[in-house]
Amino acid sequence: MTAPAYDDQNIFAKILRGEIPSIKVYDDEHTIAFMDVMPQAEGHVLVLPKAASRNILDISTHDLLHVSETVQKIARAVVKAFDAEGVNVIHYGEPAGGQTVFHTHVHVIPRFEGIPLKPHTGGMADSDALQVQADKIIAALGN
């Protein structure tokens, strides 16, 4: 398989350039994390490298290591923020793998026993509710 080239008009590239808004929970030199607008559960966060890549197949090892560090920080923070019993760390690669936005990102989702995930790219969440969740995650990251 030959993957298409990175397209810098994808929606996450626009968020990274500040052209469209996001509800941010974390930002450092190499990565950013913000709330998923169609969450599969409360506290669903996306972690992205700032550098361009489509997914796990073309990201540099250097960028992947930075993403992994941030994924662990966010995983710990969402579990703490929502007093969760578990966590999912999910990546969809290319359309056949379920990917819909072609800038590398990892889904971090707090989980509870017996509560199934909502569908991937289901309904839009209320942005005020997402901001409340983001504030809890930011607080959990800070201590």
Out of 10, 24, 30, 37, the only residue in the binding site for ligand AMP (CB under 6 A) is 37
Which two tokens mark 96?
């056949």
- Give the 3-state secondary structure of residue 48: strand
The answer to whether 88 contacts ligand AMP (rule: CB under 6 A) is: no
Which two tokens mark 23?
């509800």
Residue nearest to ligand AMP (CB): 38
Q: CA separation (Å) from 137 to 26, 48, 57, 83, 134?
A: 9, 16, 29, 11, 5
What residues contact 40, with CB distance under 8 A and at least 6 apart?
107, 109, 117, 118, 119, 120, 122
CB of 100 or CB of 131, closer to ligand AMP: 100
The answer to whether 141 contacts ligand AMP (rule: CB under 6 A) is: no
The answer to whether 98 contacts ligand AMP (rule: CB under 6 A) is: yes
- Shortest approach of ligand AMP to residue 143 CB, angstroms? 26
Sites of contact with ligand AMP (CB under 6 A): 11, 22, 36-38, 46, 92, 98-101, 121
